[in-house]
């Protein structure tokens, strides 16, 4: 395509799509490995992975073939019937995660909604009350539907959509005492991201997560971990909580779970796994054969490609490159993160950095008000890190 065709596509989108995104003036056309290409043929090194979605990169033949095989068999039935990919995906996912049962959704936000309903029903089954409270974290992000929004600790996202659902109280992330101070006889659950993403790439402290697990055990509350972004090998273990020596009662997952196919899930163990019964929750598309086939292949490839090992091998390379940027530029103040979920704090506008990076053929995203986020495909190697750093140095030199 030429520039005229690209402009026509963007204009068409602006005329017919509700304007909830300020999109960059690029029309992406196809991808290969860790690179994306626009309609005019320009090549981009992708360190965003569709916001931490593409673990295996673009156009992976093994993954594509698995979906093509399922496409020719069955895409959708309904949840009034069984299908083999759904059953297999549920078995694989629960076995590798340590959970007992799973409910498949279409997105991470829907997974949060399901976890919220599960917690409410858990409290109702416990004492018959409907006024239970849930403790969430400041600067958190769980999604944009009304339930997920109520759990999101950022007034900016909430202010136009009030009133929020009641019974949500906010503690300070990595401050155990602030959580304890909010607990009362109505508290039924604590929810947090094991690594905060949109809030600025903050991993949970060891003692903080251990303390919340102990607190939940002592008070009969559910610990709900949101691993939508940080799960599926992103931080160096299959799920980030596995690095802390604890296990949640309920967990949400999505993003890399389907490698671009819209699928998420919430999982539960113990008593929490049997709280929801027929009529309590549902989904037309959740767990359909096509999405479930994507989940099955994702889990299989994580094991066959030894993806966790690779992430742990390449993480020090990325960390070193980012630390060198912190040392080299006075407006780059710090690096933080876990695995291939990293961020650097900058005093220049992240949006300007991202815009200039696109001009250099590098895709990045922001997180919070002052963080540039690095969530590349998990298959990156040292040459990709070097290429990223070289491009980013050109951008930073312009500042």
113: CATH: 3.40.640.10
Domain match, 315 and 199 both: no
Report CA-CA distances (Å) from 111 to 28, 59, 199. 28, 27, 19
* Predicted pLDDT at 247: 98
Q: Report the C-alpha gap between 321 and 147 in whole angstroms.
A: 39
* Predicted pLDDT at 70: 98
Q: Report the C-alpha gap between 5 and 209 in whole angstroms.
A: 51
**Tokens describing residue 11:** 């204009």
Percent above pLDDT 90 for the chain: 99
pLDDT over threshold 80, residue 3: no
* Predicted pLDDT at 174: 98
Domain match, 167 and 121 both: yes
Domain match, 34 and 89 both: no
Domain match, 163 and 230 both: yes
Domain match, 347 and 299 both: no
End residue of a domain, out of 304, 323, 354: 304
* Predicted pLDDT at 4: 80
Q: pLDDT, tens digit, for every residue of 53-74?
A: 999 999 999 999 999 999 999 9
Domain match, 213 and 180 both: yes
Mean pLDDT of all residues in 157-169: 96
Domain match, 236 and 164 both: yes
Domain match, 27 and 121 both: no
E strand segments, the chain:
28-32, 35-38, 43-46, 101-105, 133-137, 168-171, 187-193, 195-196, 202-203, 222-226, 250-253, 264-268, 332-338, 341-346, 362-363, 365-367, 371-374
Residue among 21, 221, 11 nearest 132 (CA) = 221
pLDDT over threshold 80, residue 267: yes
Domain match, 267 and 319 both: no
pLDDT over threshold 80, residue 218: yes
End residue of a domain, out of 271, 304, 337: 304
* Predicted pLDDT at 263: 98
Within 10 angstroms of residue 96's Cβ, the number of other Cβ atoms is 14
Query: How many domains, the chain?
Result: 2
What range defines the domain where residue 372 resides?
A: 3-56+307-397
* Predicted pLDDT at 384: 98
Q: pLDDT, tens digit, for every residue of 363-376?
A: 999 999 999 999 99
* Predicted pLDDT at 2: 78
Say which CATH number the domain at 318 has.
3.90.1150.10
* Predicted pLDDT at 98: 97
Percent above pLDDT 70 for the chain: 100
Domain match, 190 and 80 both: yes
Mean pLDDT of all residues in 206-221: 98
Within 10 angstroms of residue 366's Cβ, the number of other Cβ atoms is 18
Domain match, 330 and 259 both: no
Per-residue confidence at 197, pLDDT binned at 50, 70, 90? very high
pLDDT over threshold 80, residue 1: no
Report CA-CA distances (Å) from 321 to 21, 188, 392. 31, 43, 11
Q: Please state, rounded to an integer, the average pLDDT across all residues of the chain.
A: 97
Name residue 335's beta-bridge partners: 344
Q: pLDDT, tens digit, for every residue of 294-353?
A: 999 999 999 999 999 999 999 999 999 999 999 999 999 999 999 999 999 999 999 999
Exposed / middle / buried, residue 245 (Cβ in 10 Å: 0-12, 13-18, 19+): exposed
Phi (first) and psi of residue 150, to 5 degrees: -65, -25
End residue of a domain, out of 284, 304, 324: 304
* Predicted pLDDT at 121: 98
Alpha carbon of residue 20 to chain centroid: 20
Domain match, 136 and 152 both: yes
């Amino acid at each position: 395509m030429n520039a005229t065709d690209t402009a026509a596509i963007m204009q068409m989108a602006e005329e017919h799509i509700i304007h909830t995104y300020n999109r960059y003036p690029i029309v992406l056309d196809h991808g290969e490995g860790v690179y994306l290409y626009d309609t005019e043929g320009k090549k981009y090194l992708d360190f965003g992975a569709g916001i931490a979605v593409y673990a295996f990169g673009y156009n992976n033949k093994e993954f594509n073939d698995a979906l093509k095989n399922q496409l020719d068999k069955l895409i959708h039935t309904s949840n009034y019937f069984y299908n083999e990919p759904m059953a297999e995906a549920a078995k694989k996912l629960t076995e590798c995660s340590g959970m007992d049962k799973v409910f498949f959704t279409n997105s991470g936000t829907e997974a949060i909604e399901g976890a919220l309903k599960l917690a409410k029903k858990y409290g109702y089954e416990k004492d018959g009350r409907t006024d239970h409270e849930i403790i969430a974290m400041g600067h958190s992000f769980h999604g944009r539907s009304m339930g997920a929004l109520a759990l999101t600790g950022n007034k900016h996202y909430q202010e136009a959509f009030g009133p929020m659902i009641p019974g949500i109280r906010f503690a300070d992330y990595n401050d155990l005492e602030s959580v304890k101070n909010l607990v009362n006889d109505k508290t039924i659950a604590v929810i947090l991201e094991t690594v905060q993403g949109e809030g600025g790439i903050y991993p949970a402290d060891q003692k903080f997560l251990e303390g919340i697990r102990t607190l939940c055990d002592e008070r009969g509350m559910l610990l709900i971990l949101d691993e939508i972004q940080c799960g599926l090998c992103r931080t160096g273990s299959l799920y980030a909580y596995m690095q802390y020596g604890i296990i949640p009662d309920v967990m949400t997952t999505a993003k890399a779970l389907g490698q671009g196919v819209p699928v998420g899930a919430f999982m539960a163990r113990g008593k929490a796994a049997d709280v929801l019964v027929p009529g309590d929750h549902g989904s037309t598309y959740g767990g359909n054969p096509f999405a479930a086939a994507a989940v099955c292949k994702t889990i299989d490839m994580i094991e066959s490609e030894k993806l966790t090992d690779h992430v742990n091998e390449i993480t020090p390379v990325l960390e070193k490159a980012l630390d060198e940027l912190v040392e080299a530029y006075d407006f780059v103040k710090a690096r933080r993160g876990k695995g291939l979920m990293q961020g650097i704090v900058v005093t220049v506008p992240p949006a300007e950095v991202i815009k200039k990076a696109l001009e250099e053929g590098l895709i990045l995203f922001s997180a919070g008000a002052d963080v540039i986020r690095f969530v590349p495909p998990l298959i990156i190697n040292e040459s990709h890190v070097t290429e990223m750093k070289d491009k980013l140095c050109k951008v930073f030199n312009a500042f």
